[in-house]
Every structure is written in C-alpha cells, then in structure tokens.
Amino acid sequence: MQAGLDDAFALVAGRFRRPEVRQRARACLGGLLSGLERKNGWSLAEYAGEATPDGMQRLFNAAKWDVDGVRDDIRTYLMTHLGESDAVLVGDDTGFVKQGVRSAGVQRQYTGTLGKVANCQIGVFLGYASSRGRAVLDRELYLPRESWIAQPERCAAAQVPEQVGFATKPQLLQAMIERAIAAGVPFGWVTADEAYGDNGPLRRHLESHQISYVLAVSRAHQITTAAGKVRADVMAAKVPRSGWQRLSCGPGAKGDRRYDWALIATDSPAHRLLIRRSLSNPRDLAFYLCHTPRPVPLQRLVEVAGARWTIEECFQTGKNEAAFDHYQVRLYPAWYRYITLAMLALAFLAVTRAVLDPEPAPPASTSGLIAISANEIRRLFALLTRPPTSRSRILHWSRWRRRHQTRARHSHYQRQQLKDR
C-alpha cells in the first residue's frame, strides 16, 4: 500500500518545485491516511517526525506549489482507473463547522451536514460515480455576498484574490462541470439535489451542451405541460395506481434501495418528471426533472437518480478516512491546499478499492467476505505504515504543546485584562 501511495503522489510531485515542500506534502498525505485522532498542522507535523508544526503550516499557508495542477492530476489519476463513458457527475455541497469569524467564507448559514443553521464554511464539490468506483473531482469554497464579497477588507485579510467575485453554489458547480468537459472527463449524466435542480440557469446551461441530467427539484417546482404549468406534487397526485413501477436505484448499506417510481411526460419530448415514492410511507415523495436528448429507459433514469447518494458517501468517507474536516486553516488559499491534498488521499482509497475489487462482488454468505471498503483500506494502510517513534520524541512534542498553550493562555489573560480596564 505504501508503494501504491508513492505511485499516486508521483503523479503530482512535479507540482511542488522545492524538494522540502514536495517531501512535506508526501508526509502530509501519509498523515491524512494515518490513524491519528485529529489531523491538523500540529499532529501531521508530529507524525511526519518534524520538530515543530511551522513547516506543515507553511505547506498550507505560504509555500509555493500549484494547487490547481494537483487537482488536475487527481482528475487524470481517477479517470485512468474509474473513467467510463456513461458515468455520472454528481454535484453537492457540505458544511465545515468552525468557531470564530476569520476563516474564509465562514458565517452562520444552513448546512445539510447538521441539518440546521450553524457557524460554518460551505464547500461545493463535484463527484464522479461509475461502476468502478466514486471519488471527488473538484472543489470550490462558497463566499457569501454580504458578509464576505461586499467586505473587501475582510476578504483581503483572508487572502481572497481580488478577482474572485460572488458566485452562487449552482454557478460554482457549473464552473466545475465546465472544467470537467474541457479536460475530456468521460461522463454521460449530471445529477444533484434540488438546490441545484431548481436553478434554471444551470439546467439551461446543461441543455445547451446536450448534457443529460436527472436533477432533484422541489415539490413546488413548476412543470410545463400541454395544459400549462403544474406543480410537481399536483402531477404526482394524478398518477394512477398502474403508473407506478417498483425498481431499485442501487445497492445501499442494507440492501437494494427499492422505491415506487413514476415517469410523466411534459410538453417537451426531451423533458420528463420522475417521481419517487417510499414503500413504507407513500406520502414521502421525491421529484426529479430529467433531460435526455434521446429516449432512455426508466431503469437508467432511476439509477442516475440513485447515483446522487454517492457524493454523500464520498463526504462521509472523506471526513472519516481522509480528514476532510480536520483542518484548522483560515486563509482562502490554505483551504484549497488542504482540501486538495485530502482529495488526493480519498482518490487513493477509491483507486485502491477499484484495483483490489475490479468487479462488483456478489453478496457474501455468512462465511464469506464482503467487498473491501475504503474504511478497511485506510485502516490497513495506517497499521502497515505506522512510523517508528521514541520516548524522547513523544516528550519533545508534549513540551512543545504545553509551551504553546502557556503562551496562548498568557495572551488570552492579557487581552482580558485590557478589556476589564
């Protein structure tokens, strides 16, 4: 596994011009996949055998390296092992809960990660799902208009480039899809949740490029029919009993994800409304607007709708196994640097899984083995590559942390005394 990670890093090594930065990035990648409880600048530096966290923090904040070039190399790496012409591009965003107000893009905003409003950053991601695996291809940090873009001094303090303007989440997703197209990424579909499906400009952009999509839309979404515009949920109420088909949209943790599905024509031959109904609660409905320049079987539309969950799996694996949300950086460029290296760690897990299990495994018997998971691969990597340590090194880092905490506490007390005067 160490050799496999070395091979993956070799693809991006040329993006780091200085050898010490290159070596630190490789050490950081190993740390992200290690068994460390938390993977921030301090712990990654300690794991790498460094005397202080200064160098690891420079890797994220100040060292010169081509972060977008690394992103492009990750994309090439993934396409080599996972690429398929009928694959699905999956768009979604996820929240990174933060304390304070100085992290780029942070504000109180809704995040589906917690299902509520919280002080957090929002990252928009482009996933890739094929029969060979799934991973994350691209990323963008969402910067709110009023609290960030409209405050140039705040942006400058977080090192947000002057040319970066406000972009909605659908616009960020569109930019990433355009990059994938320009790079020749093989895919046949785009899917995303209703925050993106309800966005008309994004849908029209995909349609103008003759890209097929299955986008979730809200129940209030207006569907254009021969009789005029009708809400999606109103159309669902008119589906006869014979209009529903029970189909699986793909395997889940507890077996096939089976629902009842109905497909309704619109006034456009290229557009149809797909409705999903829960088996346990028939009032639980989900709606998808489908655009297909050519006729497509219902089963394939259902599978593409089900592929939307793959990016949720990527987020879960990325946070649990590749430390997507462990970072403590605040600067705008530093967010991209940390997340991009974490994406490389996640890509390594996805590719290793595809190599070890090139064909989808049948359900295992009670005496057999299930397919190897990203969690198991990361655990094996951590056990097999655990670096040697010593008592003196452990005590050195204990003293360093306590000195730093002493200085931080002293500074806090001084600030508090000034406030009390």
- pLDDT, one tens digit per residue, over 331-358 is 999 999 999 999 999 999 999 999 987 6
Q: What is the pLDDT of residues 101-133, one digit of tens each?
A: 999 999 999 998 888 999 999 999 999 999 999
Sign of CA dihedral 45, 48, 49, 55: negative
Contact 329, 341 (CB under 8 A): no
Residue 173 CA to residue 126 CA, distance in Å, equals 7
């797909």: which residue's tokens? 274
Question: CA 269 to CA 293: how far, in whole Å?
Answer: 8
**Lowest-pLDDT range of 305-309, 320-324, 372-376:** 372-376
Which residues lie below 8 Å from residue 98, measured CB to CB, with a gap of 6+? Answer: 106, 119, 120, 121
Q: Extract long-range pairs of 371-374: CB within 8 Å, 24+ residues apart.
A: 374/317, 374/321, 374/346, 374/349, 374/350
pLDDT higher than 60, residue 363: no
- Delimit the domains of the chain by residue range: 195-299, 388-420
Interval 166-206: pLDDT, tens:
999 999 999 999 999 999 999 999 999 999 999 999 999 99
pLDDT digits (tens, 9 = 90+) for 257-286: 999 999 999 999 999 999 999 999 999 999
Question: Can you tell me the distance from the alpha carbon of 216 to that of 193, in angstroms, rounded to the nearest whole number?
Answer: 5
> What residue spans of 48-135 are helical by DSSP H?
54-61, 67-82
Q: Under DSSP, is residue 97 helix (H, G, I), strand (E, B) or coil?
A: strand
Residue in the structure block whose two tokens are 């219902």: 298
Q: Are 181 and 251 in contact (CB under 8 A)?
A: no
User: What single-letter DSSP state applies at residue 243?
Assistant: G
Q: Which two tokens stand for residue 152?
A: 């140039």
Mean of the per-residue pLDDT values of the chain: 92
Greatest mean pLDDT among 119-128, 246-255, 407-416: 119-128
Give the whole-angstrom CA distance, residue 313 versus residue 251. Answer: 12
Rounded to whole angstroms, the Cα distance separating 130 from 123 reads 23
DSSP class of residue 293 equals S
Q: Name the more confident of 4 and 308.
A: 308
pLDDT tens digits, 30-74: 999 999 989 999 899 999 999 999 999 999 999 999 999 999 999
* pLDDT reported for residue 215: 98
Give which of 204, 206, 136, 140 is closest to 172, Cα–Cα: 140
Asked if residue 35 lies in contact with residue 382, where contact means CB atoms within 8 angstroms, the answer is yes
Which tens digits make up the pLDDT trace of 285-311?
A: 999 999 999 989 999 999 999 999 999
pLDDT of residue 367: 46
**What pLDDT is attached to residue 288?**
98
The three-class DSSP label of residue 91 is strand
- Contact partners, residue 279, CB within 8 Å, separation at least 6: 246, 258, 259, 260
> Comparing 313 with 381, which gets the higher pLDDT?
313
* Highest-scoring range by mean pLDDT, 44-48, 206-210, 388-392: 206-210
- Work out the angle between the directed axes of helices 19-32 and 2-10 (0-180°, nearest 10): 130
pLDDT category at 396 given cuts 50, 70, 90 is: confident
Residue 372: what pLDDT?
Answer: 83
Stretch 140-150: mean pLDDT, rounded? 98
| Short-list 269, 259, 264, 199, CA closest to 230 | 264
What is the DSSP pairing of strand 116-130 with strand 245-252? Answer: unpaired
Nearest to 221 by CA among 169, 270, 273: 273
Q: Please give the full DSSP string across 173-222, using - where no structure is assigned.
A: HHHHHHHHHHTT---SEEEE-HHHHT-HHHHHHHHHTT-EEEEEE-TTPE
Amino acid of residue 140: E
Work out the pLDDT band at 365, boundaries 50, 70, 90. very low
Cβ atoms of 88 and 304 closer than 8 Å: yes
CA distance 263 to 223: 13
Tokens of 250: 């793909």
Residues in CB range of 29: below 8 A, 6 or more apart: 5, 9, 341, 344, 345, 348
Q: Looking at residue 146, what DSSP letter applies?
A: I
Helix (H, G, I), strand (E, B) or coil at 51: coil
**This prediction's pTM:** 0.89
